[in-house]
Chains A and B, each alone.
Chain A
Amino acid sequence: TQLLEQSPQFLSIQEGENLTVYCNSSSVFSSLQWYRQEPGEGPVLLVTVVTGGEVKKLKRLTFQFGDARKDSSLHITAAQPGDTGLYLCAGALGGSEKLVFGKGTKLTVNP
């Protein structure tokens, strides 16, 4: 059983389109991180959300943490080819530094 369900697993869109990636769980997380990973490299932290209902913006990326801290979403506006990559959500369960990872969303933005 996957503790953190991430969807969609694959997404191929045209430049300029909007998209949303979802991470859902039945567990409550003390914090949730979003990472982006390029092939052959380690994941790079995009954002950490901690408070239920929190919304953070990073240029064209908007991250939201659910009110109950069980789910999160990443919305990208006007996607660009440079946004192509593997997006990973990862939640920290209370009292532990261990992260639970979603399966990842492989995003391809075509010019």
Chain B
Amino acid sequence: GAVVSQHPSRVICKSGTSVKIECRSLDFQATTMFWYRQFPKQSLMLMATSNEGSKATYEQGVEKDKFLINHASLTLSTLTVTSAHPEDSSFYICSACPGGDNQPQHFGDGTRLSIL
């Protein structure tokens, strides 16, 4: 159980393009999902907390107008990288947490974004 699906797994596009990444919890409902960015050989950096039915909470230094997050249902959150540039190239990972005390986060397989 607790499967999180992330799509697409890899995106290659031109500079200036907006890219949407989907994160779905397949067998549980998640009022909260998280979006991370991971640089090569480094740990995960939390970008924002996605809250179902309300605005996302962004970590310090993350541009909310650049990284648009929508959490329209209890099983789907989307991250849109707007007007992407080469410096936005990275590995983006989402996670979701089933409700309840001390429940762990379960991660998607990540999206490799490459901006040319």
Contact = CB atoms under 8 A, between A and B. Distances in A.
A43 B105 CA distance: 10
B43 A102 contact: yes
Interface in B25-43: 32, 34, 41-43
A42 B6 contact: yes
Interface string A78-111: 0000000000101010000111011110100000
Contact of B49 (A40, A92, A98): A98
B104 A45 contact: yes
Interface in A35-80: 35, 40-45, 48, 50
**Chain B interface mostly:** strand
Chain A contact residues (Cβ within 8 angstroms of B): what range?
20 to 34
Given A92-B102, A98-B34, A98-B49, A104 B42 contact: yes
Contacts of A104: 42-43
Contacts of A44: 107
A45 to B, nearest CB: 5
A30 B32 contact: no
Contact of A41 (B43, B102, B104, B109): B109
Contacts of A88: 43-44
A3 B44 CA distance: 13
Contacts of B112: 40
Given A42-B6, A42-B109, A98-B49, A33 B104 contact: yes
Interface of B: 4, 6, 32, 34, 41-44, 46, 49, 91, 93, 95, 97, 102, 104-110, 112
